[in-house]
């Protein structure tokens, strides 16, 4: 019944406050895993798990050089989410436009145009 | 450590695929609880629970007339979510702009302009 949507993974990933904090931090610039972990009161292993999930979702990309794994935000990873919200709003606006058109017709006394 | 953000409730609410289907349906226009329940393969009680949560989150408003409860989407309920995504993108763009400015300065060989 419920189709899989790419936006599903984004919503699930960002419904977790710690992962949202990581994404917020990375929107200010790339950071190493330990830099990301510092302000978070959870184990480094837990941070790594969160980053892995964000990576699978396409929100974050990581690169390991030597012993340091650097994480950066993939702005295109936010697209599915932004599109979903924009689509809901577009639908609502279209309805308001149709409603306004119907009210105009009503005023002009042309009920036969009503759909 | 983790501050409560209004966007938290929106992400949690919409991380559930059934609730997203309800919001998608309502973006096409108001619907009664039973209309919303029809295409969903879950109990009416479960649908009512999802709607209650969406109502608490401010995404949906409901009104009961007689025995029928009509649900409608509150477009302003999507604002926190849209703002969060837009803010992340704004941060990223600002970084790119700063990077481009630095590269320009580098080319023009005017390091004293660097901020």
pLDDT digits (tens, 9 = 90+) for A32-63: 999 999 999 899 999 999 999 999 999 999 99
A88 touches B: beta carbon within 8 Å = yes
Cα(B38)–Cα(B52) distance, rounded to whole angstroms?
17
pLDDT classification of A64: cutoffs 50, 70, 90: very high
- By CA distance, what is B39's nearest residue in A? A1
pLDDT over 90 (residue A96): no
> Which residues on adjacent β-strands are paired with residue A65?
A68
pLDDT over 80 (residue A112): no
Average pLDDT, chain A: 88
B28 touches A: beta carbon within 8 Å = yes
Structure-model confidence comparison of residues A94 and A17, the more confident one? A17
- By CA distance, what is A10's nearest residue in B? B15
% of chain A at pLDDT higher than 70: 90
Do residues A53 and A10 make contact, with C-beta atoms less than 8 angstroms apart?
no
**Beta-carbon contacts below 8 Å between A and B:** 83
Spans in chain B with pLDDT lower than 70: 1-4, 109-115
| CATH 1.10.10.10 at B1-109, yes or no | yes
Which ipTM score applies to this complex? 0.78
Q: Do the Cβ atoms of B11 and A20 come within 8 Å?
A: yes
Residue B79's contacts (CB-CB under 8 Å, 6 or more residues apart) are none
**The predicted structure's pLDDT at residue A61:** 96
Structure-model confidence comparison of residues A25 and A3, the more confident one? A25
The 10 Å CB-count burial string (b at 16+, else e) for B10-37 is bbbbbbbbbbbbbbebbbeebbebeebb
What does the angle CA B10 – CA A88 – CA A91 come to, to the nearest 5 degrees? 155
Cα(A78)–Cα(A95) distance, rounded to whole angstroms?
26
- Structure pTM? 0.80
Tell me how close the Cα of A85 comes to any Cα of chain B, in angstroms: 7
Q: Do the Cβ atoms of A2 and B15 come within 8 Å?
A: no
B73 touches A: beta carbon within 8 Å = yes
């Amino acid at each position: 019944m419920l189709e899989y949507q790419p936006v599903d993974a984004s919503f699930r990933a960002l419904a977790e406050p710690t992962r949202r904090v990581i994404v917020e931090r990375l929107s200010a610039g790339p950071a190493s895993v330990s830099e990301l972990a510092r302000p978070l009161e959870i184990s480094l292993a837990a941070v790594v798990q969160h980053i892995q999930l964000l990576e699978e979702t396409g929100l974050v990309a990581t690169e390991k050089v030597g012993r340091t794994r650097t994480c950066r935000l993939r702005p295109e990873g936010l697209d599915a989410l932004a599109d979903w919200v924009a689509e809901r709003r577009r639908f609502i606006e279209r309805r308001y436009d149709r409603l306004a058109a119907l009210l105009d017709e009503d005023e002009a006394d042309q009920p036969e145009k009503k759909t």
